[in-house]
């Protein structure tokens, strides 16, 4: 399973990249706003900065909602760097634009997906990635992980190449559950990724190994 980081923070992207397990980045207009990145020029430069940190797909979301404007904006984004994936919302115009980009060989990510039917449409249009938002479904008492399972079954039934990108991941158990089901990608906050490293028995075990090593070395010195 690929690990993407879901942030527009260059510091967090660098930190995740340094861990050696990062495969890509997803952003959205809210995440860009959180970093104070506004105005077309700054937004475009920020995407290039992200692409220069990570060697993997970087989702850049269009703001336009009309088909022609979505296509124009998506083409500008795709021209920034070969790793840019044009992120388009699950709307009629968004799906039509996905089909346009798919026909041109430009990578797309269909975002704001909350049902299996929507995921089916994204795959039929030729989306590179589909982004079911599992955390936001959990927030409204609907099992987000179950949606990943449903989409996996549907895509496998027909051999769709669209990659399931589990989004709105909130905690490490979401990542494990998505991996068990066979999601292709999980895009996660840094906190959920780093939480996977920790286990109390790992810390206790390492402490004991080092203490035993030190004791043996001291005994060797004392016996000389």
Which residues are designated catalytic? 87
Under the binding rule (CB under 6 A), the answer on residue 160 touching ligand E4P is no
Angle at 178 between CA 172 and CA 184, to 5 degrees: 120
Q: Name the segment binding ligand E4P (CB under 6 A); options: 35-43, 45-53, 127-135, 215-223.
A: 127-135
CB neighbours of residue 185 within 10 Å: 24
Pick between residue 64 and residue 206 the one whose CB is nearest to ligand E4P: 64
Contacting ligand E4P (CB under 6 A), which of 12, 85, 108, 111?
A: 111
What is residue 133's DSSP assignment?
A: B
Angle (nearest 5°) at CA 215 between 211 and 218: 140
Closest approach of Cβ 138 to ligand E4P, in Å? 10
Ramachandran bin of 36, using left for φ above 0, alpha for ψ from -120 to 50, beta for the remaining angles: left
The reply to whether 168 sits near ligand E4P by the rule CB under 6 A is: yes
Interface with ligand E4P, residue 136, by CB under 6 A? yes
The CA distance from 74 to 62, in Å, is 6
Tell me: does residue 133 bind ligand E4P (CB under 6 A). Answer: yes
Specify the residue, 36 or 200, whose C-beta has the smaller distance to ligand E4P: 36
């Amino acid at each position: 399973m690929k690990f993407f980081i879901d942030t527009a923070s260059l510091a967090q992207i660098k930190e995740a990249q340094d861990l050696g397990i990062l495969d890509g980045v997803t952003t959205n207009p809210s995440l860009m706003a959180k970093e104070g990145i506004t105005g077309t020029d700054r937004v475009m430069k920020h995407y290039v900065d992200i692409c220069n940190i990570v060697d993997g797909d970087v989702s850049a979301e269009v703001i336009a909602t009309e088909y022609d404007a979505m296509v124009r904006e998506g083409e500008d984004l795709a021209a920034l760097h070969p790793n840019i994936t044009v992120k388009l919302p699950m709307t009629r115009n968004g799906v039509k634009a996905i089909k346009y980009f798919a026909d041109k060989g430009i990578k797309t990510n269909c975002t704001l997906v909350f049902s299996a039917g929507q995921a089916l449409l994204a795959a039929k249009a030729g989306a590179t990635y589909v982004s079911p938002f599992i955390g936001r479904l959990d927030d409204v008492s609907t099992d987000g992980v179950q949606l990943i399972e449903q989409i996996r079954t549907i895509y496998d039934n027909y051999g769709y190449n669209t990659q399931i990108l589990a989004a709105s991941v909130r905690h490490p158990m979401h990542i494990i559950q998505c991996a068990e089901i066979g999601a292709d990608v999980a895009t996660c906050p840094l906190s959920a990724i780093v939480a996977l490293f920790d286990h109390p028995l790992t810390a206790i075990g390492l402490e004991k190994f080092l203490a035993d090593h030190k004791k043996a070395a001291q005994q060797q010195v004392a016996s000389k």
